[in-house]
Amino acid sequence: MTRDTYQRQLRGLRQSVIELGVKVHRQLEQGLQALLQHDLALADKLDAYDDAIDRQSLELEKLCLQLLALQQPVATDLRLITSSFKITTDLERVADLAVNLGEYARDCERIEVISPADIEQAGGLAADMLAQAMQAYENKDEPLAIDVIKRDRELDLACWGIMRGFIKQLVAREMQSHTEEQVERITSQALTVLLSMRDLERIGDHAVNAAARVVYIASGSHQYI
Amino acid sequence: MLSTQRLSLWYGKQQALNEVSLSFERNQVTALIGPSGCGKSTFIRSLNRMNELIPAVRTAGQVLFGGQDIYAKGVDPVEVRRWIGMVFQKPNPFPKSIYENLAFGLRINGYKQVQERVEMALRKAALWEEVKDDLHRKTGLDLSGGQQQRLCIARALAVEPQVLLMDEPCSALDPIATAKIEDLIGELKKEYTVVIVTHNMQQAARVSDYTAFFYLGKLVEFGNTQKMFETPENPQTEDYITGKFG
């Protein structure tokens, strides 16, 4: 084996991306928890975690650029580095969206208009997709990555179903008279549910992006990118 | 236009090439890569019968140029080398004037309009502007390494070959001179078919359209350069180009 230092750097890059994925997944679960349990203390902590994730993402980007500039990678190495660069961006975005979920908790009391279990289910699906994409990255598992890509439809439908159900509730309530306070409360919940679903859907998209890069690493196929 | 069919070569009892079949695309650059001793230099030298100059060399198989086996009886190797020119690792200008470096070969090959051909070849080798005022005053050895190599390229082009073989043409040059030769290769392929042996993987990636990977005298993989460097099919190619061995 030659180029030992370079090979060590590549292994280090992979390990760091895997670790970043673990942190972002934890951040997402905490964002969901803050939203669903209206845990404002936890929501406050997310910002600090996000700063650490941003710093780590920047370090990873620097490492990728350094490897590209100094080692002129090709073949599997090139695919690993360019994909890791992109996956890092996706992970960093997921962490931002997880902070958003905590922010929504601040803006609204507990969600009552629809069942929180529905949101929990969609959130769990998004988190699973992310974890699965990162597991595929760790093991260069192309079939698992393709499975994530296929599950995106499931998440889209779940988010869409929740938003649709919620709007239906609003329309039904429109028929009844409400106090100003009730209108305010329902509006806050509407914003929270709709924005949360939008963000979960985006998290799914980022998981799909990461999975598509894993397919590229494993086979060189651009099919899903 | 140029291809080999099951080409094998032995230096005495030592087999250096093992049934290599490869076709070179017209007006494209093909890079030959592989670790030292893999047979890439032997192979490129077989393409214009340069190996014949080494004693105890035996070949089997065919090298076809325009449908004609260049090793067939009655084919003049000097004529072959005029069709298929070659530039070597170390620039080897004659200790004569810049002009004579090109004119000599033209005259002994019976070419007319020698002066015009010298200028044309120097222009094609991107050297004319740098030497036009010193054609008779300076010798080939007065030029820088990069200029000497371009002079050798001009010398090969002067007799109007169709194929240009380059055996590690930049290995003795600095990065600026290397960049000039690499740019020149991009220009030359508009008129010539170029085959280049290089140890520099990045150079192969930069200058070639097709890449052939040799290992232990065999052609392991041949294909589009971008594909070879992004998604090679053979694990041996992958391991070599990523530096895991070699």
Walk me through the domains of chain A, giving residue ranges and CATH numbers: 4-219 (1.20.58.220)
Q: Provide the pLDDT for residue A205.
A: 94
Phi, psi of B204 (to 5 degrees): -55, -45
Subunit contact B242:A76, Cβ cutoff 8 A:
yes
Is the pLDDT at A175 greater than 70? The verdict is no
Chain B environment of A76 (Cβ under 8 Å): 238, 242
Q: Provide the pLDDT for residue A1.
A: 52
Q: Provide the pLDDT for residue A182.
A: 79
Chain A environment of B230 (Cβ under 8 Å): 74-75, 78-79, 220
Single-letter residue type at B117: R
State whether residue B78 sits within 8 Å of chain A by CB. Answer: no
More confident residue, A4 or B102: B102
Pick from A16, A15, A3: nearest CA to A73: A3
- Sort strands B163-167 and B57-65 into parallel, antiparallel or unpaired: unpaired
State whether residue A117 sits within 8 Å of chain B by CB. Answer: no
Alpha carbon A149 to chain centroid, angstroms: 14
List all residues of chain A from 53 to 72 with a beta carbon under 8 Å from chain B: 72
A104: Cα within 13 Å, side-chain hemisphere? 30
Query: B23 CB contacts (<8 Å, ≥6 apart)?
Result: B2, B3
Closest chain A residue by Cα to residue B202: A72
Return the sign of the alpha-carbon dihedral for residues A202, A203, A204, A206: positive
Subunit contact A7:B244, Cβ cutoff 8 A:
yes
Name residue, tokens 């220009």. Answer: B187
Q: How far is it, in rounded angstroms, from Cα A178 to Cα A68?
A: 61
The pLDDT tens digits of the residues spanning A14-51 come to 999 999 999 999 999 999 999 999 999 999 999 999 99
Tell me which range, A103-112, A158-167, A173-182, B119-128, is most confidently predicted by mean pLDDT: B119-128
List all residues of chain B from 15 to 74 with a beta carbon under 8 Å from chain A: none
Point out the residues of chain B with pLDDT beneath 70.
246
Structure tokens at B165: 């073989």
Q: Where are the domains of chain B?
A: 2-241
The chain-wide mean pLDDT, for chain A, equals: 92
DSSP code, position B35 = S
Instruction: Please tell me the CATH code under which domain B2-241 is placed.
Output: 3.40.50.300
Q: In this predicted structure, which of A186-200, A206-220, B112-126 has the lowest mean pLDDT?
A: A186-200
Name residue, tokens 């710093």. Answer: A55
3-class SS at A183? Answer: helix
B241/chain A closest Cα distance in angstroms: 7
More confident residue, B147 or A108: B147
Closest chain A residue by Cα to residue B232: A75
The pLDDT tens digits of the residues spanning A159-170 come to 999 988 888 888
Of A2, A7, A75, the CB nearest to B231: A75
State whether residue B241 sits within 8 Å of chain A by CB. Answer: yes
Whole-Å CA distances, A153 to A121, A148, A156: 14, 10, 5
Closest chain B residue by Cα to residue A82: B230
Query: B14 CB contacts (<8 Å, ≥6 apart)?
Result: none
Q: Which spans in B84-224 are helix H?
A: 98-108, 114-124, 128-131, 145-158, 175-188, 201-207
Name residue, tokens 């030769």. Answer: B181
B198: Cα within 13 Å, side-chain hemisphere? 24
Q: Provide the pLDDT for residue A25.
A: 98
Q: Provide the pLDDT for residue A180.
A: 79
State whether residue A179 sits within 8 Å of chain B by CB. Answer: no
Subunit contact A74:B230, Cβ cutoff 8 A:
yes
List all residues of chain B from 154 to 213 with a beta carbon under 8 Å from chain A: 201-202, 205
Subunit contact B243:A2, Cβ cutoff 8 A:
yes
Phi, psi of B214 (to 5 degrees): -105, 145
Helices B98-108 and B145-158: crossing angle in degrees, nearest 10, is 20
Strand partners, B20: B7
Length of chain B as a residue count:
246
Pick from A211, A107, A91: nearest CA to A149: A211
Whole-Å CA distances, B205 to A93, B112, B172, B175, B198: 34, 39, 19, 16, 10
Q: Provide the pLDDT for residue A188.
A: 83
